[in-house]
Amino acid sequence: MRAVAAPLSLLFALLFSLTACAQDSGQFKEGQHYQVLPQTVPQKDDSKIEVTELFWYGCGHCYHFEPILNRWKKGAPEDVALLKVPAIWQPVMEVHARMYYVAEAMGVLDKMHQPIFNAINNERKMFATREGREWNPDLKAIETLFNQQGVDGAKAAKLMNSFAISSKVKQGSASQRAYQLSGTPEVVVAGKYRISTSLPGFKGKSDGQQMMLEVADYLIAKERADKG
């Protein structure tokens, strides 16, 4: 009996696996788990399938999504590129977007990205001062944070209001509008598909952020197949 039971168990496992795959292939639906953008946004690198995340350093959901996204990135195929766009729809968000672009311009994004997240979410530092309706970078606080990470804080503070960083902010805002993103975190695949936990298919899901990346994987496979 043991000699027969093993092959039968393997057969049942195989049938279950095939059934699960068949179900998964139709698991995610347009309008439920993702939206097709009215117009495709050109990718920066056509040799890659780009996955773009819209985030804000002051967003608690983005803070919790970051380690999930990092784990996903480590296992992403070589033909997939992860890009990030800082969200801007409030003045204080522009200050934080500038911090991102400054770190990127200085080549220290790997050093500064998580510390900025930590300082804003855990230490409640905004790195901005308010005068009426205006929000301005708190250059002293920004310089201190960069210095703490072994980065030239004076240079970072000087770049905050530079023309180059202002241009990056404008480009990022244009991307946000083109992708029709309105919340954080949200993800766009191949400049065609928008994924958001605000969509109906995510309602009642406790693992919505992980599910976003499962939808992204599904759409990456779809894009790869469409390319042939």
Give the range among 8-12, 115-119, 165-169 with minimum mean pLDDT: 8-12
CA distance 63 to 208: 14
Mean pLDDT of 201-218: 96
CA distance 2 to 27: 37
Report the 10 Å Cβ neighbour count for 13.
Answer: 10
Give pLDDT tens digits for 81-139.
999 999 999 999 999 999 999 999 999 999 999 999 999 999 999 999 988 878 999 99
**Whole-structure pTM value:** 0.86
CA distance 41 to 96: 24
What are phi and psi for residue 226, nearest 5 degrees? Answer: -65, -35
pLDDT over 60 (residue 11): no
